[in-house]
Amino acid sequence: MYASISETLEYIRRKTPIEPKVGIILGTGLGKLAEEVEVELSIAYTQLPHFPVSTTESHRGRLILGRLKGQSVVVMQGRFHYYEGYNMQQITLPVRVMKAMGAEYLLLSNASGGLNPSFKETDLMLITDHINLLPEHPLRGTHYPAWGPRFPDMRQAYDPDLICLAREAAARHAIDLHQGVYVAVQGPALETPAEYRYLRLMGGDAVGMSTVPEVIVARQMGMRCMAISVVTDEAFPETPRPVTLQSVVSAASQAEPRLTRILLDVVEGLE
């Protein structure tokens, strides 16, 4: 793992000297923020040594380096998921590469099912905490002390100051922004009505198949994290409705301008 990260980093360094301060991971149907970047380098994941390849539709599969709102950034236009067959070390390798390049912050977005009955399709939810139900942990296995503690504290996985920046940005632009707990599950099948009831009872406000592994690894390495989830379907067991990838992408696209506005303001407000 350590050697793979070093080789990936060396490959990127040969292409550009940029040292990003901010890492950004864009989820399903949410890649347009990358269009705001003053691009210095764009690399397909297929060209990067040891990088997995996005196999989910709507994930462009590009690593972009450049400047955004005055900050140096590295942007993943598309992420990797456990359900694609990758292990947690592969899924989180890009986060470790971002940190090795110099990134201090990690901003993430994802598509999710809304468990909270007050949520509606296309709403935005600022993640304040998470519940990890994925079957493998990203820190399992060999521990490299240089990456951080083996048992990182996760009581503030989502940075309070970044949460404040996001809330202020939403208020400034009159954007409704919920807050809540994100539950990460394996997928790729969506949940049954009984599972939705269970996830709601355990304290979940939204459910998805990503984000948590990246946040755990980022926190181990001392990165400050913020994540926003787009509610792309209403996961209410009382009124079950069929969900397709196309409907998820469509809902994400409708919410994307509001999400992008908040993320741009957060990036601009970083010290």
Quote the number of domains for the chain: 1
pLDDT tens track for 175-224: 999 999 999 999 999 899 999 999 999 999 999 999 999 999 999 999 99
pLDDT digits (tens, 9 = 90+) for 45-80: 999 988 888 766 555 689 999 999 999 999 999 899
Task: Say which CATH number the domain at 68 has.
Answer: 3.40.50.1580
- The token duo for 232 is 């792309």
Q: Would you state the structure tokens that stand for residue 163, as one six-digit string?
A: 């949460």
Interstrand relation of 62-68 and 71-77 (parallel, antiparallel or unpaired)? antiparallel
Which structural domain range is residue 127 located in? 2-269
- The three state secondary structure string of 1-45 is CHHHHHHHHHHHHHHCCCCCCEEEEECCCCCHHHHHCEEEEEEEH
Total-model pTM: 0.93
